[in-house]
A and B are shown apart, each in its own frame.
Chain A
Amino acid sequence: MPKMRRSLLGYLPEESPIFSLHPVTKVLFLLVVSAYPMLTQLPEANLAGSLFMLALFKAAKVDLSVIKGYKMAFVNLFFVIAIAYTFFGGYRPEYTVLLRLGPIRVCWENLRWAILVYLQLVLAILVIIFFLSTMRERDVVVGLRTLRLPFVVCYLAGLSLRSIGLSIIDFFTIREAEKARALDLAELPFSEKVKKFGLYIVPLVGLAIRRAEEVSNALDSRAFRFSGLFKGGKRTDYIPKKYKIRGADVALIAIMFAFLAAIVFVNYQYGWLRAENSLLYRVRFG
């Protein structure tokens, strides 16, 4: 059994090559690579990007069951987009009608646009799942600190991510307490379950207010003071000193930015990544 390290979305084996990268590379990966699908309409390019992301998951030794956990999100998104574009996609006389369902015309032009949007979103979602699967709370803080963001912002990011974990623990404690009082959640209808989960906000917020007092006292006792975003005194950054930016980090960051610049250039100069250049636009019916 390989040794595992916790990430924001699960666990990652210690021998994953992702751990040899500096956290700032991973933070920049999210910010830069997320822009690729936004700038690219060409479905073939987004499909290639998605396949590349899957290869990256494999290379980083990320458990692919993480993606399976998002299966319903992908399926749901497909249906929502398909319905939004086929039933609410509008109609023009030049459109090719594939199917008539009463007053509704299912047109190829709308369906084609739905496929384009879906593939764009699949790539964007894979990028975010990869980021969450390979980042730890500490990585986010170190990455932001390396980008020279103010200490208070980095501290806030770290504490916020930590508090998600604490809220989830509180959430399960509340559920266990309810189960101990003989509440059978499995027997509740869906609407009741949704209402019940929503009501957990009250104790969760109450616990957060109580915890804020403890955190604030801990900060005060360590002589931390809120003096604005940029005015705070200089403090030693212990954890970021443990990380080194290596040649591989510099090369990867350069490649990411170069690729982004190339996408912007070919898109605005030549329009190669526009939807009209897709094979889907060559499909003709009748």
Chain B
Amino acid sequence: MPSAKSVWEVEPGEVRKPGTVHIAIMALLIGVGAVAGTFGSLSVPLGYGVTGFWPGVAVQAVGSIWFGMWGVLAGFLFPFISNSLAGAPLYVSFAYLPSNLLQGIIPAWAFKFFKADPRLTKGSDYLHYIIWGVVVNNLAGAAWAVTALQWFGLITVESVPLFFSGWTIGNGVPSLIFGIILLKALSPLVVRHRSFVKGWWA
């Protein structure tokens, strides 16, 4: 059983480079994320693809922690498909791209920087996930999203708190519940899998 610190450490003689498995995992994550995201966008819709409950964010946060930039890119792209299927205009999906990037890249960076274990073996691992994968990433994503919606003239300044809180809570709750379940259930398998990314690309 490797120690928590060793999860991110490259072993002596270990060669890591991007391969076909990363392309495959990215494409398949886009598929899973699109299904989860579409379901969320249709279940408790608040308009413009913003929803009161979006399980897709768990795929973004956890996929980025496990698969580095491949997970970040998957989380960046799948909302495009899920928003479109749920009836959001293309330019609104474009406007959300930075939000979706932030929601994946922040927890991925934090887990690597603080050497947190994705298997959540210690209390500090949970804390890092909650801070960076539930709170900070979703606040950053929501801040960008409402700015973009307002910039496009789709919402008024007065309705910013409504959409901001809708985005933050709608993403935060599923991120907390499903993210922790995903990390606990699948991280022991993923960290041993060849698709697991210790750096950013491999």
Contacts and interface: CB of A to CB of B under 8 A. Distances in A.
A205 B35 contact: no
B35 A85 contact: no
B153 interface: yes
Interface in A28-67: 30-31, 34-35, 37-38, 41
Interface in B58-106: 58-59, 62-63, 77-78, 81, 84-92
B31 A164 contact: yes
Interface stretch (B8-16, B18-26, B126-134): B18-26
Contacts of B85: 9, 132
Q: Is the interface of B mostly helix, strand, loop or mixed?
A: helix
Interface in B1-41: 18-32, 34-36, 39-40
B28 A163 contact: yes
B87 A84 contact: no
B24 A215 contact: yes
Interface in A109-156: 110, 117, 121, 124-125, 127-129, 132, 152, 155-156
Contacts, number: 198
B26 A156 contact: yes
B32 A163 contact: yes
Nearest to A222: B20
Given A128-B90, A168-B35, A201-B36, A160 B23 contact: no
A-side interface mostly: helix
Contact of A167 (B32, B159, B186): B32
Contacts of A163: 27-28, 30-32
Interface string B142-169: 0000000000111111110011000000
A51 B53 CA distance: 33
Interface in A190-224: 194-195, 197-202, 204-206, 208-209, 211-213, 215-216, 219-220, 224
Q: Which of B55, B87, B182 has the most CB of A within 10 A?
A: B87
Contacts of A209: 25, 28, 186, 189-190, 193, 195
B152 to A, nearest CB: 8
A195 B53 CA distance: 9
Contact of A212 (B24, B39, B48): B24
B87 A70 contact: yes
B45 interface: yes
Contact of B162 (A76, A88, A197, A211): A88
A208 B67 CA distance: 13
Interface of B: 18-32, 34-36, 39-40, 42-48, 53, 55, 58-59, 62-63, 77-78, 81, 84-92, 152-159, 162-163, 174, 177-178, 181-182, 185-186, 189-190, 193, 195
